[in-house]
Chains A and B, each alone.
Chain A
Amino acid sequence: MTEIVISILLLMGGGLSVLGSIGIVRLPDVYGRLHAATKSATLGVITIILGVFLYFLFYHGLFVGKLLLTIVFVFLTAPVAAFMIARSAYNVKVKMWDKSIQDDLAEAEKKLKSRSK
């Protein structure tokens, strides 16, 4: 029973990582790619680590706290990294996809500039 659960977790993690990579290739611009990279990769890594944790717990009787800590850190850092990349990409004026239909940030910046003049 535990074997099946661990296998499912590991396979799911691998599958999600692959899907995330496909998303990075397929999506049109930096921002879209970040969506794929953060979401799929985060859950993929978390499920793999959870699988490893359960393996050590049930087959070796070891409670490996480090693995749980890893989950916490991945969980905390992935969105922050995505935020920083998106923000710096926008600040160095990486273009958005042609079919993007709205940009509230550009409007806000324009307003700020006209006020400071």
Chain B
Amino acid sequence: MAFQILLNIGLALIWMLLRAEYTILEFIIGYIVGLGLLFVLRRFLHFDFYFRRIAAFIKLILLFFYKLILSNIDMIKIVLSPKMDIQPGIIAVPTKLRTDWEVTLLANLISLTPGTLTMNFSEDGRTLYVHSIHVPDKEKAIKEIHESFEKAIMEVTH
């Protein structure tokens, strides 16, 4: 991946030299052209196209914001309801993610999603303990964590 970025920057520099205009704008245009070249040549150079990961990362950040807004709407509903009609509790959520880095990211994502807050890890770091504001929804919450967050994180790291 690092080699590809270096190659991309090199291509952008060559573009700038060929155009004989040394500005940021020209560099960006060169970078985009280089990106296109790498995309076309990805099969012959025997590597995975690195921009796919960056696209996945941007998708992950957008998902983060989307969930944050949803969780706020959820929170407002609970705070402003006249009766506290909630049943909080701590639930265990197993995860398939392996490295510490991925699990940390998942824990942060969980904390900012509707009705859940990461509280603790198990010894081996494979199980997250999540405080849920309304436990009867837990099946839905666990399913959501597995299907949307884990998948989005895996797309970035694998």
Contacts and interface: CB of A to CB of B under 8 A. Distances in A.
Interface of A: 16, 19-20, 22-23, 26-29, 31-32, 34-36, 38-40, 42-43, 75-76, 78-80, 82-83, 86-87, 90, 96-97, 99-106, 108, 112
A103 B108 contact: no
Interface of B is mostly: mixed
B16 interface: no
A102 B135 contact: yes
Interface residues of B, number: 35
Contact of A102 (B64, B89, B108): B89
Given A42-B112, A43-B72, A97 B118 contact: no
A41 B133 CA distance: 17
A29 B89 CA distance: 11
B122 interface: yes
Nearest to A25: B79
A29 B72 CA distance: 19
